[in-house]
Amino acid sequence: MKILLMKDVKGMGTKGQVVEVKDGYARNFVIPNGIGMEATGGALKVAESQKAAEGRRKEKEHEEAEAFSTKLKGVTVLLKHKAGAEGRLFGSVTSQEVSDGLKALGHQVDKKKIQLDDPIRHTGRFAVKVKLTHQVITEVTVVVEAIG
């Protein structure tokens, strides 16, 4: 029996793919558990329209990320921390602090999208990557200054 998968299934296929399974497996497991449905003409048309809508949504999301990326280029975030001798910070700068600094400048960025290779533990200028989508990655400059 040909089944149109409704979910990604390890070892079977991905969402929207048509796979061949045994009749009993399809009737007793795949269809009742919502993993897939019988691949009829109507079901295939619905799957194609859903795939096209998903493609348009991803394209729009990518364009928005590109536009936001151009806004973030050249942005400098100034953070002030307590520091000891030779500019060593008490603690470190976290992605949350960078996110809050960007928010103060009017740019809403989730802390999970900020990629710090190593924790920032010294004063100075640092280039920090912001991963907006899988393909769109930009950099912002973080300047850490010492307080007292």
CATH of the domain at 33: 3.40.5.10
pTM over 0.95: no
Report the pLDDT value the prediction gives residue 118, as an integer from 0 to 100: 87
CA distance 121 to 35: 49
Token digits of residue 16:
């929207």
Say yes or no: 36 and 73 in one domain: no
What is the tally of structural domains in the chain?
2
According to the model, what pLDDT value does residue 76 have? 94
pLDDT at 50: 85
Q: Are residues 56 and 83 in the same domain?
A: no
CATH number at residue 112: 3.10.430.100
Radius of gyration of the chain (CA): 24
Three-class SS state of 103: helix
Mean pLDDT by 10 residues, the chain (148 residues): 90 89 93 92 87 92 92 92 89 92 92 91 93 91 90
Asked if 49 and 12 sit in the same domain, the reply is yes
pLDDT at 61: 92
Q: Are residues 13 and 45 in the same domain?
A: yes
Residues 10 and 56 in one domain: yes
Written as one string, the DSSP assignment of 6-74 is SS-BTTTB-TT-EEE--HHHIIIIITTTTSEEE--HHHHHHHHHHHHHHHHHHHHHHHHHHHHHHHHTT
Residues 33 and 96 in one domain: no
The Cβ of residue 30 has, within 10 Å, a number of other Cβ atoms equal to: 22
Per-residue pLDDT, 46: 85
- Which structural domain range is residue 122 located in? 69-147
